[in-house]
Every structure is written in structure tokens, then in C-alpha cells.
Amino acid sequence: QLRQFYERIFDRFAAQQGARRWGDKTPYHIWHVRELAQIFPDAVFVCMVRHPGGTTASVQSRFDWQVSHAVKAWVRQNTEIAVRAVQLPGRFALLRYEDLVLDPEASLRELLDWMGEPWTPRLLEHHVVHGEREPQRVEGMTSATDPIDVERIAKWTTKLDAEARELLRTEAAPLARFYGYDVDDAVRLDSLLPADSVRRKLVTSADIARRQGEHSDVDWSSRGRPAANRRLDAAELWLGRNDGKGGKRGGKSNGGQRAATGAAPAQPEGGKAGPKGRGKAGGKAGGKAGGKAGVKGSGKPATAVRERPLARAVLSRVHRTLGPRVQEQR
């Protein structure tokens, strides 16, 4: 029943894109791989890892995490990836972010060949494809219409201070070496595959199992899911923890809270209502009660939830099905 529920949603979306297969990119899935493998017995899992310095700088900037929290989260999540990979032989593959950025065609060709999917040059033009579909969509801190930028690989070296780099050395170095990284060198990439491998980029369950035997300095015991510390509603799940600074800084005011969770009134006092609650309606609604701190991040998030009732329903179902709490890294 659960499988049918999701397949109806995602099969319809795939058909709209002219595709016969769909995928779902959600980082929290790593904590539910076993359940997902049972619910979708024909599914395969593709994971991507990134240098711990790059990941730490990214989540610190995007989610305002403390460096120690970000580094520990990287170790915990990427240990879990390796543990789960060996439990799903033939159904698990891994790519490094850096390999994909530096050599996207070779990386994607190997991945598609492993998945049994045909190659198309359009895969190298994601910025064009997304521009044709949803030119306003933004992923992370970059626009989906931006072409691949190799300079982002080493950008973290200008963001992390000496204290953060020392944390990488003490906490993440062994696991970083397992994935072919040097915590002090952003561009060094050691091969993860044996010399006689026909693949150069894609790593499979068998490769990960072999490397685990070669890296006895890593603690391979699963840490399990992080302890849950609070319940999130469907709207907050959809928006992300800190999607909009207004939700964070204006949290104590009623206006800031309503705007951040999508419950802001459509007609602000003294302000014009934008189409479907956009812009001035969502932004000023939080601003009247929460001050300027609530305005900056409240307009679009409020609209995002109001205009996506299906997304709210899906997230609510996930919330009830996979557990009463969302697991957050601490």
C-alpha cells in the first residue's frame, strides 16, 4: 500500500517528463535504506560523497551549523553510507562530487551503464534543461541554471579557519582517506578502484567492501539514526530547517513564526496582496508582527507551502509512516 501511494505520485511525474523511471534525492534516506529496499525491491541506490571540508563549509553557510556539528555529521553519514552499501550488493553505487564535476561525462556514462539506462548528451546540459523547465528553481545556494563550476571544488579552503581545519584532521581524516580525500588538500583525489577495474569513477558495493578491509583505522560500526530532539511539521520539512532567515530570527514573534511555517495571512495590514499570496502578501504579513527580521525570509516560503498542498500531504504521510520524529544531526 505504501509503495502504491508513492508510485502513483512519482510515476505521474515521470510520465510528465517523458521518462519511464523516477528517482528521489533526499539526504535523510540514508537512515531508511533498509526499509526503502524492502518497500521498493527493484530500486537501486546512488550515493554521492564530497570532501569533508567542502561539506562542512556548505552546511555551515546554508544551515548555520557549528563546525563541530558539521564535521561529526559528515563522519556519521558517510560511515552509514559505507555500512549500508555492503548490505546491498548489486543495488548500491557511489560517486564522488569532485569526480562528477571534473569529468561529468565519464562519471555519468558509467552510472547509466550500471543502471541500464541510455546515454544522452542532454545530461551534460542540466543548466539548459532546467532553464527550459523551471528557470526560477534554486538548489542549495546556486541556481539550477548555472553550468558546472569546477572552482567550487576548492572554494571551501577560503571559508574554513585554522580551528575548523584542525577539527577535520582529528575527527574526519581516517574516513576521508577511505574515500580518497586528503583533509588538507582540496584537489587531491586518490583512486577508489583497483588498477585492473574497467570503471574509473563509479564505485560499487564490492569496491566499498574491499576498501573497508584495507582501512582498519576506521570504526565501521553503524552509529544508527541520530537522536531526535524535536518534532517538525510538514511545512517545516518542505521548507528546510532555516529556509529563510526570517523564520529563524523572527521566531519569537507571532508574525515571524506564521510567515516561516506558511500560515501567514494572505492580506497584510496596510499592504497589497500579491498574486496567490506572493511577495508583499507573505513578506509583509510576517513583517508587521515580526519586524524586518521576519520579512526577509518569510514571503516565498509561505507561498511555497500554500501552493504545494500535494507536497504537504506527501511529507505528512512520510512523517506518519517512517517514524513520529524527523532525525536531525546533533
**Does residue 239 share a domain with residue 205?**
no
**Measured between alpha carbons, how far is 47 from 25 in angstroms, rounded to an integer?**
9
Across the chain, which has 330 residues, the per-10-residue mean pLDDT values are 91 90 90 93 96 96 92 95 95 97 97 95 87 65 81 95 96 98 97 95 97 94 66 42 38 31 33 35 34 34 39 49 41
The letter for the amino acid at 271 is G
Distance of alpha carbon 169 from its chain centroid, rounded? Answer: 24
**Does residue 186 share a domain with residue 287?**
no
**Does residue 168 share a domain with residue 300?**
no
**Does residue 138 share a domain with residue 204?**
yes
Query: Could you say which of 161, 181, 214 is where a domain stops?
Result: 214
Whole-number pLDDT of residue 227: 63
**Does residue 192 share a domain with residue 83?**
yes
Residue 3 lies in a domain: no
**Does residue 241 share a domain with residue 178?**
no
Q: In the structure, how many helices (H) and strands (E) does the chain have?
A: 17, 5
Residue 327 lies in a domain: no
**Does residue 281 share a domain with residue 170?**
no
Residue 195 lies in a domain: yes
Whole-number pLDDT of residue 80: 95
**Measured between alpha carbons, how far is 250 from 296 in angstroms, rounded to an integer?**
10
Residue 20 lies in a domain: no
The three cell numbers of residue 221 are: 560500526
Residue 224 lies in a domain: no
Supply the range of the domain harboring residue 64.
Answer: 44-214
Q: Rounded to the nearest 5°, which phi and psi values hold at 92?
A: -130, 130
**Measured between alpha carbons, how far is 205 from 86 in angstroms, rounded to an integer?**
5
**Measured between alpha carbons, how far is 308 from 237 in angstroms, rounded to an integer?**
13
Whole-number pLDDT of residue 138: 60
Q: What sign results for the dihedral spanned by CA atoms 211, 330, 298, 156?
A: negative
**Does residue 202 share a domain with residue 75?**
yes
- At 93 the three-state DSSP class reads strand
Judge whether 296 and 244 are in contact, CB under 8 Å: yes
Count up the domains in the chain and report the number.
2
Whole-number pLDDT of residue 133: 74
Judge whether 256 and 293 are in contact, CB under 8 Å: yes
